[in-house]
Structure 1
Amino acid sequence: MKLGQLRRVLSFVIPCQLIRLSAGTSQNVLSVEDTVSQNPIIILPFWDVLGPFRIGTREAVWGADPVEFYGGIQNISPNEPGCFRSPLARNATVQWDRKEYNTSTSNGEQSVDFLLDFIDVDWEFAQKIYGWSAFQYQAWAKGEILNQGVVSQRVNIFTDNILEIWINDMHVFGGDFFGFGRAPVLVELLPGANNISVRLVREVRSMGGIFPPTIQAGLRTQPIPEQPAVVARRVVMPNVVNGKFCTRYGSITVQNQAATWISVHQVVAISGQSSCIVANQRVRLAPGQSRPLKLIFDAASRWDESLKLVLTYSRQDSILHDIGFDTQLEPASMSSLQRITFLHPSGSVSYALLKPPPTANATKNERLPVLLNLHGAGVEADGPLARHMFDDTPYLPAWILTPTGMSPWSSDDWHTWGFADAQYAVAAIPDWINSTGWNGPSVYSDKILVAGHSNGGQGTWYFASHQPDRVLGAAVASGYSSIESYVPYILWNEADPLRDAILQTSRSSFRHEILTDNLVGFPIFQQHGSADDNVPPYHSRLMNTLLAQVGEMAEYSEMLDKGHWFDGSMTTKSMLEFYLRLLKVCHSETTVPTSFTFVVPNSHDMGPRYGVVVDQLSTPDRLGKMRVTIQLHDSLVQWHLRTENIYRFHLDPSVRLANAPNQVLIDDLPHVFDVGPGAASFVKSVSNVWGRDVALDWKTLGERHGRQRGALDAILRSTGPFEVVYDSDETLSIAVQTSRNFLQYFGGDTNIVASSRYEQALDKGANVITICLRTFVPDASLPGFPIRLVSEQIFLTAPDSRLISLHLEEGMGGVWLRPLPGERLELVVWGFDEVGLRQAARLVPTITGAGQPDFVILGNEARWKGHGGAIAMGFFDRNWKISFASYLP
C-alpha cells in the first residue's frame, strides 16, 4: 500500500479500545462505540414456567411443541387458569409455576441463568424403563426484559443452550443450542416491558445424563451503539513462524448492528511500519446479519507481535467509515504444535492444529503419514485438552493433525460438513510445508491413520466406513456407535410407520452398525474405560461384536475402572503400540482379499472400496450393496460383482491394487467385461441389464450425481458462500435467521439477496436457499420437476406418474431440494403463511440427527405432532423423480 493510501486509512480509523486477543478465541473485540452509555436494560428475575413435556432426541427441529396444540406460547397466558396435558407428570397434567432465577449485571450486560429441575417428576423410575431418553424433556419460560429508556434500544441477545425464543412478536429458531457465542440475535427492545418466551429443551448429549436431569441455560443482553457499526466478534489467525504466518488465511466475523444494509469494502492489516490489503471484495450484510470475512495474507510479509486490522464499510449513504482493532499474534517454532488455516470447501476459513514429525533420523525425501485426531463434542481444537493429547509422544513418526470440524461440536458430528473440514485440513499440509520452507520429511496422505475420542471416535467410524480406501488404520477411544444409539429415539411423537422409516433412511449414512462390512480389511483398535458413564462401554462392545460377525477381529482394550476421559487417553501403551505398528508400514500396493462386501448408503461422502466407486443407487429408499469374489483364470484376475440396488458404478484406476481386475463379471450376466488400465464404468439399461457406460456426458441436470447425493443435508456441500434469496420484507427475517444458523452451527457464510437477483444467485456457483411466502415459488431449473406450486395448490408427481394435488391451507409449509448445474443444489423453503414458513425453516440443517429427507410438506398439525404432521415426505431418485417409498397422500 502506498504511503498516501495508508494515511487516508489511518485518518478514518475510529480510536479503538485495545484488547489483546488470542487468535482463535471467541472473545469479543469491541470498538470505542460500544462503550457509549446506554439506557439500562434489565432482565426481570421472575419467570412463569410451563412443563415438562416430552421431546425425543433431536426432535425439536421438527417442531413437536405440545403447547402449540393450545394455540402456541404467544397466545396463552400464565394468568389464565387451566391445565395442560403431559405424559411426564402426575395425572398427565402440568400447570404454570412461578420461578425466580439469578440475574446479574457486568460491564453493561444483563444476564439470567435458568435452572429447571421439576422435582415432582419421578425421573429415576422413568430412567429404569427408558434409559437416558427419559431425561430429555422440554418446557417454556415466560418473562420480561425491561427497557427503562424512553426510546427503543437495539441489543444483542446471546442464547446459551437455547434453541428457540420469542421476543415480543419476533420469533427466533436456531438460537445457540451449544453455547458457541458466534452469532447473537439483534433485537429492538421497546420502551417499558418486553415479553420474552424461552423454549428450554433438555438434551442429554449436550447437558449430560446426570440425575436429577436439570436444564441449565442462559440469556445475556449486550448493549450496542445507536450508530450503525461493524463489530469484529471472532478472530482466526495462523501462528507466526520465523516472523511470517505459517499459512495464508485469516478470518474475522463481522455483524451489522444497524437497521439498514451495509457493505464492507476492504480490510487493511497494519503491523509495525508495513501494511497491506487483506480483503478487497465487497461484502453486503443485511440488518442483524453476521458473516465470516476471509482475509488473505502475503506469504512473504513479516509481522510483529500485534496486528491492527482496519475495516472499511459504508451504509446506504455510501460514505466510507473505518473501524479498527488490535489482535495479538501468537508465535510458534517450526517444529512445535501450531495453528494452521485453510479454506473449507464452502470458502470459509477454518483452522487445525498441526504437529510436524520429528526430523531426527528422517530425510527430506521420506514421506510420513498423517495421524488425523478427531476431537470430542464440546472440545475446542485449540483448547488445552486437545492441545496436549499427544504430549507423551514427541517422537511419533507422523504428522499429527487435529481439525476443528468448524466448531467445538465438529459442526455435524464429523459428518457431511465436519467430514469435509477434516479432509481439507489434511490437504492443507503441503501448503504449510511451502509457506514455512520446512525441510524435514514430506507428507504421505494417500492413506490416513484416523483416531478419535468420544464423538471423535464416532467420527472415526464414519471416516473409516465412508472412505475405506483412504484408511491406514482406525483407533477408536470411548466412541459411540451412532447418534441414535447414543440416546435412543424412542420418545418421539407418534407417526405413521412409513414416516418413521423415512427419517431412519435419512439417517442411514450415520448408522455405523449397519456399515461394518466397509470396516473389514484394515487394522482397528478399540479402547474404552469400563467405568465410562458418558459413553457406555456397550457401544465399543457392540461394534467389536458386529465387526467379528463380518470377519474383522478388531483389537479391543477395556480399561478397568477408567472413565470417559483421563490424562493420556489417546497415548496409552496399547494405543502407542498400534500407532507405531501402522506408521512403519511401507506404502505399497494393496492386495484385495478373495472376497469382500461393500455397503453403500445414499451419500456423496462415500469413497471407493478397493477402487469400486458407486455413482448412483437404483433407489434412495434402501442401502446399496456389492459382494465381490476374486478368482484367477489363466493368469487373469477376474472379479465377480454381485449387486443390490446399484445402478451405476466405476472402477477408479488411481487406487493402487496388487491384484486389480483384468476382467469383471456382474451379477448373473454370462458376458465378461475386459478391464484395461484406465477407468471402467458400468450402468444398467432400461431392461435392467448391465453394460459399459459409454455416455461420458451422463452428468446432466436431470441425473442426480456427485455432491447432490444424500438427504436434505446434501445442501451443506456448497462450494462457496450460500446464496439465500428472500422474496419480501416478511421473509428477510427468515433469511437472516438462516444465515445466523449457518454461521452459528457450521461456521458457514451466506450472501443474502432479494428475489430480483434470483437468476444471478443461481449462476454464482454455490448452493442456493430460496425462501418463499404464500402462493409463488420460482420455476425449477429442471423442467418437469415433480413438486410445483400453482395458484392455490401444490402438485406432486407420484412415481407412477399420478398427479397429486394438495389444497393450500393455513399453517402449511415445506422444504425440498432441486437440482442446479455443476452438482449444485437449491433448497426451497416455503410457507403458505408466516406460521407455515417458520415451521418449514426449522428443517434447514442446524443440529444433527434430525433426519430431514429430500422433501417435506408440513400441515398445521406438525407444530405439535412434529414429523407426524407431515402431509408428504420422502426422497428424489437418481432422475429427480419422487421415490416409490415416499409418503404421499
Structure 2
Amino acid sequence: MLLGRAVQHLLSYVSPAANSNAVQFPTVSFLSDWQVLGPFQIGTREATWGADPLERLGGFRALEYNNASTFRSSLAANGTIGWSNLTARVPIPDVFSATAELNVSFPEIDWQGLRDVYGWAAYQWQAWARGQIVVQGDETEFLELYTPQILEFWVDNVHYFGGDFYDFRRVPVTLRLSPGIHRLDVRLLRDVRAMGGVGHPDMQIKLDLVRRVSQGLSVVTQSGGSYVLLSDFIGEGASLASPYASVVLRNDGIHDVEVTGIHINANVGRVELLSPAIRIVAGQTRPVAFRIRTLPPNGQSPARGSIFINFQYRVDGEDEDQTLTASVQPRIVSAGKPHKVTFMHPGGIVSYAILRPPSQKAIESARANQAFPIFLNLHGAGVDVDSDVAKEVMDPLPDLQAWVLIPTGGTNWSGDDWHAWGFADVEAAVEMIEDWIQRFDWKGPGVDVNKWLVAGHSNGGQGTWYALTHRPDKIFAAAPISGYSSIQNYVPYTFSHVADPGRTAIKDAALLSYKHELLLSNTKDIPILQQHGGADDNVPAYHSRLMSQLIQEAGADSDYFEVPGEGHYWDGVYTTEPLTDFYERQIALEAASVKGAPLNLREFSVVAANPGDTGPKHGVEVLQLATPGQIGRIDVVFDPLTLACIIRTTNMRMFRLPPYFRDCSFVQVDNQDISTIFKPSTAPDTLSRASGQWEISSQQALQDPSQPPPRLGRQLGPLDSILRTHGAFSIVQHSPQTAPIALQISRNLHQYFAADTSITTSYSTALNSTGNIISLAINETLPPSSAYPDFPIQIRSGNVFIRGPNNIPTLIPHIEGRGLAAVFLRPLPDERLELVVWGVDEASLSVAARLVPMITGTGVPDFVVMNREVLWKGLEGVSAMGFLGNAWEVSSNSFIAG
C-alpha cells in the first residue's frame, strides 16, 4: 500500500501534457503524509539530557501509528494525547533536491491558559513527527539532509543528535540511501529563546534534501557560494585588512584525506597553511586556515577579479596528489569605512569582526600620542555582523573618538551567548586592532586595548551584562540595550522534568556564570545606561527594570531610559539621544582622565561564580574558590583615617592582591594581619588559605610534583570550560566503535561554534598538541589520566568508581539493560583539559555524548554519571554529578546516589 502511494506520488509530478521523451522523474522526494505524536512537556534546554517520555516505551522509533492509542501528557485535557496526521507541503522536487515543509500545531491544547499561569515556559513543548523519503531508481543516492530547528532525528535505524537548531546550514548530515522508502523520525522541540514567545506556539519546519555530486573532498558552500572567510580589501591600493583566511572543506569519501599544500593567484601573493598537514577523516568537515602574504600594489590590484585558492591533498591509499579549488570574489571597502577583518580565535580557527577606524575628524581632534578606547558593539541572536544593517548601526555617530568593533562571537548566535567561546572571540578581536595598526602603518591615534565602552542589543545586551560582571577592570562605561538579565530569567526552567533537589541544585550551580543578577557588585563605579523599548514583546522591559533595581541593591548604580511605545528593535536603537549623549560624554571623560594616576579607591567587592572566566576588579582577582559551584566574594574597605585596608572573604581559597595594597598602613584579611608577609616586590601577591590561615603562595608551591596538579585558570568551571581551548580540539577514539560519535561531536562543534577538530586514534599525538582533548572510550578502553593517574573518577570492569568527599569510595555499577555512561573533566599540563566521554557500550556512549557542550543553558557540571533512564527521566536519571575541586578532588557539594 505504501509503495503504491509512493509511485502515485512520483507520477503526480509528471505533467500529462509533457512529452514522454522529456520526462525526468525526481530521484529523491518526501512523501506528503506525516504522522505526529505529541505534545509533551519539555523544560528550557532540557532535551540534551533526554527527557523524552517515549523513551520509556523504547522510543518513538519503536512505535507504530495507531489512531486508537493514547499516551499520558501533562499538557492536554484529560492528561492524554494521541497520534495525528499531518499533510506536509511538498513542492515539486527537481533532480537535485527535495523539500518538505511542516506546520505543526496543537490547537486542542489550552496554550493561553497554561501561559497565563506559567508564562513563556508553557509555550515550549516536544513532539515527534514521522515521514518518508522515497529514493527512485536503481542506484544508491548520496544526499545532504538539512534540519533547521531540529536537534535530534532518526533515519531508518540510525540516530543523529545535534542537527541544526539555529539554522546555521553549516554542516548538514550526509546520507547514503538505497532505492526504496526510508523512514525519517524527527523530534520537534519548540524553544522560546530560539523561536519566540509571542503568538500561537506552532512550529514551522522546512527539511531539505540535496543530491551530492561529489563523494570525495569538496568545498562547503553556503548561500550559493564557497564558504571562504577572507578579510576585505581596503582603499585605493586594495590592501588586505588581515592576512588570515580559511576555507571549509568536507570529506564525503570513504577514505581519509590529508591536505598538504595550498596555492593562490600569483597577483594576490604567497600563501601558506597554518598547519603543515591537515587530516580530514571520512565524513568530517574542517575549516582549513591559511595566511596570505599579499604583494605590494603594482598597478594591478590583487582585489580585481576572483581569487582562486587551490588545495593540494592526497587520499589514503593513493599515490598521486589531487587539487581542489575554492574561489571568492574579494570586496573592496573605502578607507575609514566599517570593514571585515579576520584574526585567529584561541581555538585555532579564523574568525572575523567588523572594524571602523577613527574618522579624520576624530583624528584631528586627538591629543598628541593619544590612544583611543574601543567601542565594543555586541550583536543580538541570529545577526550577521557582515550585513549592511549591522555594520551601519553606528553610522549616525561617525566621529566618535574610539575604535568601533563589532565581533561575531564565533557565529551569528555568538557561539555560546558571549560566554566561554564567544567572549574569547571578543578578546581576540580586541587584540587584532594592534595588528591592524601595524599592518597599515597607521599614523593616527593608537588603541588602548584595556579600555572598553561596551554596548549590545538583545542577546548582545545580555552579553554586555556578562562583560560588566566578568571584565570590570576593562570597562569604563556600558550600555545594555533591550537585553535580558540572564538565560535563567529569560525563559524559566519551570517545565523541566521533576528531579531531586540535590541534582537540580548542581545543574543550577553549573549555570552560575550566566546568572548576572548575582554578580552585579562587580559593576560598582562603572557608568551604565540601560535602554529598553516599553512595548518590547521579545525581551520584556521587566528585565532592564529588574537589573536597574538590583544594581542599586548591590551598591552600584545605573541610569535607565525606557522608550514608550517602542518594541524590541527599531531604526536608530543604538543611537537614540540619551545613548548618543552617554557615549560621547563617557569617551570624553575617559580621554580626560589622567593615565597612571593613583586609584581613588572606596570600598568595593569582587564576586565570582567561576574564577576561570572572571577578571579582576581594581586589580583584585579571584583565583580559586573554596567550594566550586558556589559564589565567592571578596569585600574590600579602605579606612581613610588610618589608611588600613580591611578584606573579608566568602568561599575563597586563593586570590591575588595588586601592589598598591603595600601602601596601606596594614592589611587585614578575615581578621588576620597579612602586612608582615608581603614580599618586597612590585608584582601582585597571591594569597592562599591553608589550615585556616592566609599565606603568600609561590609558583613552586602551586606546582608541587608530590601533590595532585592544581586546578587553575582555563581549567576552572563546569563542563563548558572545555571550550577554552588554545588550539583545535583533538577527538581521540580509544576504540574503533567510537568513530560515529567522534564524527557527531566534530560536526556539532563546527555547527554551533565554527570550531575545528582533529580526529585521531593516537592519544600521544593529542597529548602533544596545544588544544583540549575529547576522549571517547567504551568499557575498558579509557587510559589513565596522563597528568593525574590517581584521578578520583576511574573506570573499573565496566563500572564507575568515584573517590568521593572525605575519600569515601562509591562504585556505580553497570546494571544489565540500563547501560552506564559518564562525562568528566581531567587535567592536562599548561591549563589544558581533557573531556572524557565514556559508555559501557555503544548505546551508552551516545547518551554521554549528548552532554558535550553545544547549546547554552543546559547546566552540565564537571562530571556526570548516568544510565539510560536519563533519556526519559532527564536529570532524575543521573546517578552522580558534581564538581571537582582545586586539587581535582570530588567536591563536598557533589551528588552521589547511594
TM-score of the alignment, normalized to the shorter chain, above 0.5: yes
Judge conservation of contact 1:271–1:307 (CA < 8 Å) in 2. Answer: no
Q: Which moved more, 1:692-701 or 1:56-65?
A: 692-701
Q: Distance in 2 between matches of 1:81 and 1:853?
A: 42
What is the CA-CA distance between 1:394 and the residue it aligns to? 0.9
Which residue, 424, 430, 443 being the options, matches 2:434? 430
Counterpart of 2:142 in structure 1 is 154
Counterpart of 1:371 in structure 2 is 375
What is the CA-CA distance between 1:694 and the residue it aligns to? 3.3
Judge conservation of contact 1:362–1:441 (CA < 8 Å) in 2. Answer: no
Counterpart of 1:664 in structure 2 is 667
Amino acid across the alignment from 2:768: D
Which residue, 746, 749, 761 being the options, matches 2:753? 746
Counterpart of 1:297 in structure 2 is 292
Counterpart of 1:788 in structure 2 is 794
Q: Distance in 1 between matches of 2:285 and 2:491?
A: 33
What is the CA-CA distance between 1:592 and the residue it aligns to? 4.4
Counterpart of 1:50 in structure 2 is 37
Counterpart of 1:16 in structure 2 is none
Q: Distance in 2 between matches of 1:258 and 1:663?
A: 69
Counterpart of 2:328 in structure 1 is 327
Aligned to 1:611, the other structure's residue is in SS state coil
Counterpart of 1:718 in structure 2 is 725
Amino acid across the alignment from 1:422: V
Counterpart of 1:145 in structure 2 is 133
Q: How many residue pairs align between the two structures? A: 846
Aligned to 1:176, the other structure's residue is in SS state coil
Counterpart of 1:353 in structure 2 is 354
Q: Distance in 2 between matches of 1:274 and 1:608?
A: 43
Counterpart of 1:237 in structure 2 is 230
CA 1:190–1:253: 2 relative to 1, 3 Å: same
Query: Equivalences for 1:55-94 in 2 at 5 Å?
Result: 55-79=42-66, 81-94=68-81
Q: Which moved more, 1:213-222 or 1:342-351?
A: 213-222
Aligned to 1:102, the other structure's residue is in SS state coil
What is the CA-CA distance between 1:582 and the residue it aligns to? 1.0
Query: Equivalences for 1:722-871 in 2 at 5 Å?
Result: 722-754=729-761, 757-781=762-786, 782-809=788-815, 810-871=818-879
Counterpart of 1:342 in structure 2 is 343
Counterpart of 2:314 in structure 1 is 314
Deviations 1:1-25 (A, max 9, x none): xxxxxxxxxxxxxxxxxxxxxxxxx
Amino acid across the alignment from 1:866: G
CA 1:38–1:831: 2 relative to 1, 3 Å: farther
Judge conservation of contact 1:411–1:746 (CA < 8 Å) in 2. Answer: yes
Counterpart of 1:26 in structure 2 is none
Q: Which moved more, 1:133-142 or 1:694-703?
A: 694-703
CA 1:290–1:686: 2 relative to 1, 3 Å: same
Amino acid across the alignment from 1:58: R
Which residue, 379, 394, 398 being the options, matches 1:394? 398
Aligned to 2:623, the other structure's residue is in SS state strand
What is the CA-CA distance between 1:172 and the residue it aligns to? 1.0
Amino acid across the alignment from 1:236: L
Deviations 1:200-254 (A, max 9, x none): 1001111111221011222211111254232233111100122221111011111
What is the CA-CA distance between 1:552 and the residue it aligns to? 2.2
1:647 aligns with 2:653: yes
What is the CA-CA distance between 1:728 and the residue it aligns to? 3.3
Deviations 1:91-111 (A, max 9, x none): 211212111111233671212
What is the CA-CA distance between 1:196 and the residue it aligns to? 1.1
Gaps of 5+ in 2: 1-23, 222-226
Counterpart of 2:886 in structure 1 is 878
Q: Distance in 2 between matches of 1:388 and 1:426?
A: 19
What is the CA-CA distance between 1:325 and the residue it aligns to? 3.2
Q: Give % identity.
A: 39
Aligned to 2:742, the other structure's residue is in SS state helix
1:118 aligns with 2:117: no
Counterpart of 1:133 in structure 2 is 121
Q: Which moved more, 1:803-812 or 1:419-428?
A: 803-812
What TM-score do you get using the length of structure 1 for normalisation? Answer: 0.92
Q: Distance in 1 between matches of 2:737 and 2:463?
A: 39
Q: Distance in 2 between matches of 1:773 and 1:216?
A: 38
Aligned to 1:440, the other structure's residue is in SS state coil
Amino acid across the alignment from 1:130: Y
Counterpart of 1:262 in structure 2 is 257
CA 1:658–1:702: 2 relative to 1, 3 Å: closer
Judge conservation of contact 2:269–2:294 (CA < 8 Å) in 1. Answer: no
Counterpart of 2:5 in structure 1 is none
1:703 aligns with 2:710: yes
Q: Distance in 2 between matches of 1:318 and 1:301?
A: 38
Counterpart of 2:16 in structure 1 is none
1:481 aligns with 2:485: yes
Q: Distance in 1 between matches of 2:209 and 2:431?
A: 41
What is the CA-CA distance between 1:277 and the residue it aligns to? 4.3
Counterpart of 1:31 in structure 2 is none
Aligned to 1:743, the other structure's residue is in SS state helix
Aligned to 1:421, the other structure's residue is in SS state helix
Q: Distance in 2 between matches of 1:442 and 1:344?
A: 22
Which residue, 540, 545, 549 being the options, matches 2:544? 540
Q: Which moved more, 1:490-499 or 1:144-153?
A: 144-153
Q: Distance in 2 between matches of 1:633 and 1:297?
A: 61
Deviations 1:106-150 (A, max 9, x none): 671212122111111010111100110000001111111111132
What is the CA-CA distance between 1:593 and the residue it aligns to? 3.3
Counterpart of 2:203 in structure 1 is 215
Deviations 1:709-732 (A, max 9, x none): 111000001100000011334211
What is the CA-CA distance between 1:670 and the residue it aligns to? 4.0
Deviations 1:423-449 (A, max 9, x none): 110110011111222222211122210
Aligned to 1:298, the other structure's residue is in SS state strand
Q: Distance in 2 between matches of 1:686 and 1:273?
A: 60
Judge conservation of contact 1:726–1:771 (CA < 8 Å) in 2. Answer: yes
Judge conservation of contact 1:334–1:436 (CA < 8 Å) in 2. Answer: no
What is the CA-CA distance between 1:457 and the residue it aligns to? 0.5
Deviations 1:325-344 (A, max 9, x none): 32100011221111000001
Q: Distance in 2 between matches of 1:96 and 1:885?
A: 44
Q: Distance in 2 between matches of 1:71 and 1:284?
A: 38
Counterpart of 1:192 in structure 2 is 180
Judge conservation of contact 1:530–1:559 (CA < 8 Å) in 2. Answer: yes
Q: Distance in 2 between matches of 1:348 and 1:384?
A: 25
What is the CA-CA distance between 1:632 and the residue it aligns to? 4.3
Aligned to 2:360, the other structure's residue is in SS state coil
Q: Distance in 2 between matches of 1:590 and 1:97?
A: 71
Deviations 1:134-171 (A, max 9, x none): 00001111111111132322211111111111112221
CA 1:300–1:82: 2 relative to 1, 3 Å: same
Amino acid across the alignment from 2:743: V
What is the CA-CA distance between 1:699 and the residue it aligns to? 4.2
Q: Distance in 1 between matches of 2:133 and 2:199?
A: 32
Q: Which moved more, 1:852-861 or 1:364-373?
A: 364-373
Deviations 1:398-417 (A, max 9, x none): 11100000111101000111
Judge conservation of contact 1:266–1:280 (CA < 8 Å) in 2. Answer: no
Amino acid across the alignment from 1:750: T
Which residue, 189, 204, 212 being the options, matches 1:201? 189
Q: Distance in 2 between matches of 1:273 and 1:644?
A: 58
Judge conservation of contact 2:36–2:84 (CA < 8 Å) in 1. Answer: yes
Q: Which runs of 4+ in 1 moved over 6 A?
A: 657-660
What is the CA-CA distance between 1:393 and the residue it aligns to? 0.7
Q: Distance in 2 between matches of 1:44 and 1:728?
A: 39
Q: Distance in 1 between matches of 2:381 and 2:540?
A: 15
Which residue, 49, 65, 84 being the options, matches 1:97? 84
Amino acid across the alignment from 1:543: M
CA 1:109–1:604: 2 relative to 1, 3 Å: same
Deviations 1:614-663 (A, max 9, x none): 111111031111111012466xx43211111111111245xxx7996464
Q: Distance in 1 between matches of 2:673 and 2:418?
A: 43
Judge conservation of contact 2:270–2:293 (CA < 8 Å) in 1. Answer: no
Q: Distance in 1 between matches of 2:48 and 2:608?
A: 27
Gaps of 5+ in 1: 1-36
Aligned to 2:552, the other structure's residue is in SS state helix
Which residue, 450, 456, 461 being the options, matches 1:457? 461
